[in-house]
Amino acid sequence: MKVARTIKEVREQVTEWKKQGLTVGLVPTMGYLHEGHASLVDKAVSMCDRVVASDFVNPTQFGPNEDLESYPRDFEHDCRLLEEHGCDMVFYPSVDEMYPDGGGKTDTYVEILDDMPKQLCGKTRPIHFRGVCTVVAKLFNIVLPDKAFFGQKDAQQLAIIKRMVRDMSYGIEIVGCPIVREEDGLAKSSRNTYLNEEERKAALVLSKAVFAGKKMVQDGERSADKLVEAMKEIISKEPMAKIDYVSAVSGRDMSTLKVLEGEILVAMAVYIGKTRLIDNFMMEVEK
């Protein structure tokens, strides 16, 4: 597996692959990789001739007092996982390589101006999706992939990236991949490493609420308010849990639902101690 630290190296290698008529898949990550990321690489390998993963903790998507400095990093581990799963090149740039003005800042952003980024996680992380769109747009321009692969655990991010690709006329297919969970149900996340043993047990309340909510919809519940209240009640029984939000929204544009119909996304963010975790389920509900 090739390790590229500069934009020039990535472009030269991708140009060579394209000359050979090969398709290229991109898996954007912030490193500290786990089985969820591995599943994205596996999917990319199955659909593309060559696969590039980025490994970059993007400063523009972190707000003040968020965990940019403490975000876990282990590039050697990341390389082993990527190589084991068939990745052909990892792009591991410095902050200055991605943001040449220095300090991890830029004067040029890509931003969706409707309400999509203001819902769910965007309510308490107002600059987050601007930073996500900007870094993903940069990665698309650097790698020029045919397909890009994102996890459905970050369902709002996935929907926003799809909108950006449509609006900006990128000729890239966005492939969403299912949530990967621990054996006990907890959604895999790099932030799970922040949890101590007691918090790790408490964190299971997220998946418990998700599974219960999904069953309610499958059993015929169509009131979004009743569904959300039932899920909140489950979470509130865990003393270590503090709800940021639990919401039922349209999976297409993140607008709040009253009636559960069409493509729905039921998503949550919950603090377990100081660690903010997210989980969700998506369903197509007949009208």
| Cα gap 147→265, rounded to integer Å | 23
Distances (CA, A) of 54 to 20, 69, 115, 140, 202: 22, 19, 28, 11, 32
| Cα gap 247→256, rounded to integer Å | 7
Q: For the stretch 72-95, what's the b/e string if a residue is b when 16 or more beta carbons lie within 10 angstroms of its beta carbon?
A: eeeeeebbebbeebebbbbbbbeb
| Cα gap 85→91, rounded to integer Å | 16
Q: What is the pLDDT of residues 27-54, one digit of tens each?
A: 999 999 999 999 999 999 999 999 999 9
| Residue 264 confidence (pLDDT) above 90 | yes
**Cβ neighbours around 243 below 10 Å, total:** 14
| Residue 178 confidence (pLDDT) above 90 | yes
Rounded to an integer, what is the distance from CA 155 to the centroid of its chain? Answer: 7
| Cα gap 2→109, rounded to integer Å | 29
pLDDT interval class at 280 (50, 70, 90): very high
Residue 22, both tokens: 């090969």
| Cα gap 240→247, rounded to integer Å | 20
Q: Give burial (CB, 10 Å; 0-12/13-18/19+) of 114.
A: exposed
| Residue 200 confidence (pLDDT) above 80 | yes
Amino acid at 166: R
| Cα gap 95→98, rounded to integer Å | 5
pLDDT interval class at 231 (50, 70, 90): very high
Contact status, residue 22 vs residue 49, Cβ threshold 8 Å: yes
| Residue 183 confidence (pLDDT) above 80 | yes
| Cα gap 24→35, rounded to integer Å | 21
Q: What is the pLDDT of residues 233-244, one digit of tens each?
A: 999 999 999 999
Predicted local distance difference test score (pLDDT) of residue 161: 98
User: Which residue numbers are catalytic?
Assistant: 37
Whole-prediction pTM: 0.96
pLDDT interval class at 81 (50, 70, 90): very high
Distances (CA, A) of 170 to 7, 52, 137, 216: 19, 18, 9, 38
Residue in the block written with tokens 């219960």: 212
Predicted local distance difference test score (pLDDT) of residue 125: 95
pLDDT interval class at 268 (50, 70, 90): very high
Q: What is the pLDDT of residues 138-170, one digit of tens each?
A: 999 999 999 999 999 999 999 999 999 999 999
pLDDT interval class at 287 (50, 70, 90): confident
Residue in the block written with tokens 């940069």: 138
| Cα gap 232→139, rounded to integer Å | 37
